[in-house]
Structure formats: C-alpha cells, structure tokens
Amino acid sequence: MKVRRFTIDTTPLSLSRDFRRIWFGLLFTELGWQFALVAVFIQIKGLTGSTSAVGLTGLVWLIGLVAGSLIGGSFLDAYDRRTLLMLAQVGYAASSAVLLAGALHGRPPVALIYGAIAVTALVSAIDGPTRSAMTPRLVGEELLPSALALNQVVWNGTGLIGPAIAGFVIQRFGLAWAYGVDLVTYGAMFAAAASIRPMEPELGEGSSSGWTAVKEGFAFVRRSRLLQSTFVIDLIAMIFGMPRVLFVFLADSQFHRGPAVVGLLFAAPAAGAFLQALSGGWVKHVRHQGRAVIWAVAGWGAAIAAFGLVGRNLSAALVLLAVAGAADVISAIFRSTMLQVMTPDHLRGRLSGIHILVVTGGPRLGDLEAGLVASWFTPTISVVSGGLACILGAGLCAAVYPELRRHHAKVKPPG
C-alpha cells in the first residue's frame, strides 16, 4: 500500500474513455513539438550566432500568445470544445509546414521562422485552454489532481525523450526531419478529438462571447488573490530561472559539444519532472498545496543556480537540471489543481487561457531575459543570477500573498 501511495494514479485513464483518447493524442503531438522546439533554437543560432536573436524567440512567442489569448478568450467558453480542439490542430500543422518549407530552402529569412513561431503561439492559446477546460468534465473534480499528474507525465516524458532524439536526428539528418516529425504528429490529436463526444458549453454565463467574455475572465482573476499568487510565483520562476535559450551556447562554450548535447540539456529537466510525475500518487493526499508550490519554486531556483556553477561537469549539470524539473512539476500540479477547482465551468476556458498565457508566456520572457543578460555579461552569470532571483522572488511572493501560504485543499480525494 505504501508503494501505491507513491506511484501515479492511472484511474482517470481507465474510467474516462474520452480523457484516455485525448491523453494519447497529447502524447504524440507533444513529442513532435519537442523536435520543433530544439530545431528552432539550433536553426536561429546557425543563421545569426546571436544570443539576443535566439532570445528574441521568446518575445515573438509572447506576442503571439497574448494575441491568441485575447482572441481565444472571446469565444473559448461559447462553442463546442471538441471542435475548437480539432481546428487548433489544423493551425498547428499550417505553422509547422512553414517551418519545414524554410528548412528545405536551406537559409530561410529569420523573419519567416519568427512568424511561424508567432502563429504557433497564437494557436496554443486556443489549444491549451480548450484541453484544460475539458479535463474537469471528463474526469470529475476528485480525480482532477491525478489527471493533471498524468498530463505532466506526457509533457515531461516527451520533454525527456523528444529533445534527446531531436538533437541526434538534427545532427545526423538535418533540421527538415525534425520539422517533418512535428508536422505529422498533429494528426494524432485531430483524430483523438474527432473520436470523442461533443462538449458544448454549459447553459448560463458560458454563452457570453466577444470582449465581454474576455473581461469576465480577467475580472474573476482580479477578485481572487489566491489565483493571482499562483500566476505571480510561476512568472517569477520562469522569467528568472529558465535558462533554456542558453543551452545551445553552453553546449559549445562550456561543454564543448554539438547538437546532441543541446538535446540532452533540454531533456534533463524533463527527466526529473517525468520521474517526479510517475511517483506522483502522493499529490492527492497533500492538503497544504500553496506551501508545496512555494517550496517547489524555491527548490527550482536553487537547482538552476547550482547548475550555473558546475563548470564543464556535464553529468552534474544534467543531474541539477533534473532536480529543477522535479521541483517544477510539483508546482505545476498544485497550481493547476487550484485553478480548476476554484473556477466554475462556464469560465474554465477563459481562465485556462490566462493560465496558459502565464505558464507558456513566462518561459518566453525567460528566454528574452536570459539571452539579454548573457549578451551583457556571460551565460554563466545569466544562469546563476536568474536562479538566485527565483529564490528571492518566491520568498517575496509568499510574503505579499499570505493566501498562498494558508491555502488548504477543502475536498479530500478518495484513498
């Protein structure tokens, strides 16, 4: 029984056919996206040789994400979520096709890559919130932490395997193969979404659309300091403690290796997160979820700062990145659980959109911050200072938002 407490709870997969199909669709599409992510950073570095140019991908992504969040927020809770999920896959595939065409060209304009990134970000602001808003209705509130832990297994399992394979594929066969893999995998989620039951919005306020719907979502956040605190602490962690944009440079200058090591550096945080998610059966027993988030973010920052100080020791670097990833997945599970439990269904699409804006926008701002600091000083200073700032920021957030420290889960899950 003690072992089962620490192994991941797969009950949502066995009880909900539709959740199971979406989960497997996500597995394939996320694996493909990891190929594209590594390829974009390597391609822009090869075209420009500039840390700032690679870091600028973060700003481009954020612009697309904000635009998508505003557009998506106007209709996410007003239409069938299954249909929205299918349309999002078509948008993803179109953007991936542009990246593939550019790679086949040889030396595409950097602006073309930036444009494709922006479109992908815009579509993600519709795809991610739609899937998130569907989850509570697919599995129920009591199984929600377990379902979110299973999603973390997908994101971090693909984050572990994808970059490692992508680095090898790019080094051996070229960028076009990585983008080609990304393109074909979107068919899996499209097929999964097409096979589930429609999910029309619930009657009531969910029928609102347009700018009014967008304002309703942000107004709900303004009224909840607890939700605000989960967004703020995640932004702190991702803006200051996310050095992934520097991996392509550290692989050359610090570890003296090629694209294969770039893939390993990308994969290491996901390795730790994947193992943590697999042992996540205990998450449904945690009542002080806010405290868990605070300590997890502080642990993330400490591991990142230590990573910046390892010098040429690649093994130690990979271990520390794995520790950081393990801490991050704990924070992600509890922040997502608090959001979904506290939000009524007719607002879940819009609130999930704001959540996705923070969760995926933060790392992009982190890409920009890390790239700029590295260009002003050195990549090592950028990594270490970011990790320390993350620890300090977690403490400040805990002081400013006592609601986060005091949050106690009200619903006791089974087991």
- Per-residue model confidence (pLDDT) at position 3: 47
Q: Amino acid letter at 103?
A: A
Q: Is the pLDDT of residue 86 over 90?
A: yes
CA pair distance 254, 287, nearest whole angstrom: 42
Calculate the CA 324 to chain-centre distance.
14
Q: Tell me which residue has tokens 């520790």.
A: 323
Lowest mean pLDDT across 13-17, 101-105, 233-237: 233-237
Quote the CA–CA distance of 42 and 18 in Å, as a whole number.
37
Q: What pTM, to 2 d.p., does this model score?
A: 0.69
* pLDDT score for 206: 47
Average pLDDT, the chain: 81
The pLDDT tens digits of the residues spanning 294-322 come to 888 888 889 989 988 888 888 898 999 99
Q: How many residues does the chain have?
A: 415
- pLDDT-derived band at 205 (thresholds 50, 70, 90) equals very low
Q: Reduce the DSSP state of residue 6 to 3 states and report it.
A: coil
Domains in the chain, start-ordered, CATH in brackets? Answer: 16-198+206-406 (1.20.1250.20)
pLDDT in tens, 165-182: 888 888 889 899 999 999
What percent of the chain clears pLDDT 90, i.e. is strictly above it?
19
Cβ pair 348, 132 in contact under 8 A: yes
Count Cα atoms within 13 angstroms, Cβ side, for 117: 26
